[in-house]
Chains A and B, each alone.
Chain A
Amino acid sequence: MIEFLAALTDPSLPFFRYAVLTGIFASIPFGVIGTYVVVRRISYIAGAISHCILGGVGAGLYLQNALGISWFGPLHGAIVVALLASLILAMVSMHAKQREDSVIGALWSVGMAAGLLFIARTPGYSDPMSYLFGNILLITQTDFYLVLALDVLVIGIIGFFYNTFLAICFDEEYAQLRGIRTHWLYLLLLCLVAMTIVLLVRIVGIVMVIALLTLPAAIAGNFARNILQMMVLSTIFCILFVVLGLGTSYSLDLPSGPVIILFAAAAYLLALLGLKGYHIIAGRH
């Protein structure tokens, strides 16, 4: 822990401060959007969007390095593809609900396949590993500001649509009867999920982003009385996992993403066991 604090204050290690700060501010969209992903039970949809992003990243790298289109990079590619995937998934949910799981599976792997092919054809060496598993220590100042912008976007939109989104997640059919345009708002929600994933993939990577999106919210769900509480609690849990994970990975010289995820998973398991134990003890009285 002392090493961790020393690293935080060390002026020669600015990347570490950015990593910690970005992790803390990224916990807000993780907690807020993760809550919706958990209560609406769309973690597979979030998984598909996340894996599709590799396709966009690959296309961005290819356009930039092979075709020399310098203004279009991996981040732009990721945003375009993630929004496109949300649109497809929202339309499938509207018009062909019974095919939803097949489409999720297809998007999931097609995105990965396209990404790997683009990367293979991109001149120079680009390592897909850092996209797949993330590296928070490569976070730049720009990434940090982008995460701040995402915080403002997520809090602003969710604050405005709180009651409407709650109704859509709890009972979409009833929301529609009350005159809410549920399809458009579901699409908006998926787009927010997509934007959150795009920016947060930098931290824990495409493969593990789902864990950090769902585990804190799933733990919070056991204690929260409403979804606002669930958002606040899961944001706090997320901050805890990111800081603990970063500190530990720094001290033990381990990759940060997996350490963060294992902290989250261990906490989830403890929460489940603790609740089970509590119910058994409470049941005896």
Chain B
Amino acid sequence: MTEETAAIEIRDLSFAYDDIQILCNVRLDIWRGDSICIVGPNGGGKTTLIKLILGLLSPDRGTIRIFGRSPEAERQRIGYVPQYAKYDPQFPISVLDVVMMGRLAGTLRNRYSPEDRDRAMAALGQTGLTDLAARPFASISGGQRQRTLIARALASGGDILILDEPTANIDHESEVQFLDLLKGLNERMTILMVTHEVGFASSFFKRIACVNRQVVIHPTSRLTGQLIQEMYGGDLQMIRHDHRCSEEGHRHD
């Protein structure tokens, strides 16, 4: 490839919660401008992998490098979109105030400047939420909340965007819009997204990472058509959680 450092470089990564091994000897390279979809069974380690990349968890063994440095040092370059379902629906906060959090920095006071506000409004514009800026976060729909969280990640202006199951609970129409949004963002950002829907994944992402204790990468070009049929027995929307990525089944590089 090039001499550039990878956006994310993972070597020999292992992680266990207490005695349960979640990830084992993971090796993963994600290049600048890459778009990777992370799939795998529940409990297979998808969210753990993301939290390790974000530096919210520390690996038991191995290394993670974000643009050649530690996750703690570089994590402000990562825009993170968590699952919206984890938020308290009664929290009194406006859509704009949620997006403003993307402008937080490591300072103690965190007073927002007019520029912070402009950046937040611009991010709301990008996600088509300008009219909702003053609305309570609790009063908007699930799809709109998801886009609010994407706007928050965009307001922080990073180079990597990581999304955790953003399409759960949103309807098909919003999903198409969402895909267009991601396509636009991928021109300047590296995108990683956890999802359950492989059909959705193959239409946009360049590569697919199957996470189940180990991580195996497939180019989506090989995953389309015949191979998906073989893997999932038809054009299924949901991934079968009983398949194994690594040992048998499908080929990979």
A interface residue numbers (CB < 8 A to B): 39, 41, 160-161, 163-164, 166-167, 169-171, 173-181, 221, 224-227, 229-230
Contacts and interface: CB of A to CB of B under 8 A. Distances in A.
A167 B108 contact: no
Contact of A41 (B80, B88, B112, B152): B88
A164 B106 CA distance: 10
B41 interface: no
A1 to B, nearest CB: 34
Interface string B131-146: 0000010000000000
A39 B91 contact: yes
Nearest to B78: A177
Contacts of B78: 177
Contacts of B110: 161, 163-164, 167, 180
Given A177-B80, A221-B92, A170 B104 contact: no
B76 A178 contact: yes
Nearest to B138: A225
Nearest to A175: B104
B18 to A, nearest CB: 10
Return the 5 tightest CB-CB contacts between A and B, nearest first: A179-B106, A178-B104, A163-B110, A224-B92, A164-B110
Contact of B75 (A160, A170, A177, A181): A177
A160 to B, nearest CB: 6
A180 B97 CA distance: 17
Contacts of A227: 92-93
Given A167-B104, A177-B56, 13 more contacts: A39-B92, A164-B109, A167-B110, A170-B101, A171-B101, A173-B56, A177-B75, A177-B78, A178-B76, A179-B104, A227-B92, A229-B92, A230-B92
A175 B101 CA distance: 8
Contacts of A160: 108-109
Contacts of B93: 166, 170, 226-227
18 contacts: A39-B91, A160-B109, A161-B108, A161-B109, A163-B109, A164-B109, A166-B97, A167-B104, A176-B56, A177-B56, A177-B75, A177-B76, A178-B76, A178-B101, A178-B104, A180-B106, A180-B110, A227-B93
B117 to A, nearest CB: 12
Nearest to A228: B92
B106 to A, nearest CB: 3
Contacts, number: 80
Nearest to B156: A178
Contacts of B80: 174, 177
Contacts of B90: 221
Interface of B: prevailing SS:
loop
B232 interface: no
Contact of B101 (A41, A174, A181, A221): A174
Contact of A167 (B54, B75, B101, B156): B101
Interface string B98-117: 10111011101111100000
Contacts of A225: 92, 94, 136
Contacts of B87: 170-171
Given A160-B109, A161-B109, A166-B97, A226 B92 contact: yes
Nearest to B54: A177
Contacts of B111: 163
Contacts of A166: 93, 97, 101
B82 interface: yes
Nearest to A176: B56
Contacts of B104: 163-164, 167, 175, 178-180
Nearest to B110: A163
A158 to B, nearest CB: 12
A230 to B, nearest CB: 5
A68 B208 CA distance: 73
Contacts of B109: 160-161, 163-164
Contacts of A167: 101, 104, 110
Contacts of A171: 82, 87, 101
Contact of A164 (B76, B98, B108): B108
A221 B91 CA distance: 8
Chain A CB count within 10 A is highest, among B91, B92, B109, B112, for: B92
Contacts of B92: 39, 221, 224-227, 229-230
Contact of B88 (A39, A163, A177, A229): A39
Nearest to A39: B91
A71 B112 CA distance: 45
Contacts of B75: 177, 179
A86 B105 CA distance: 26
Contacts of B91: 39, 169-170
Nearest to B71: A177
Contacts of B156: 178
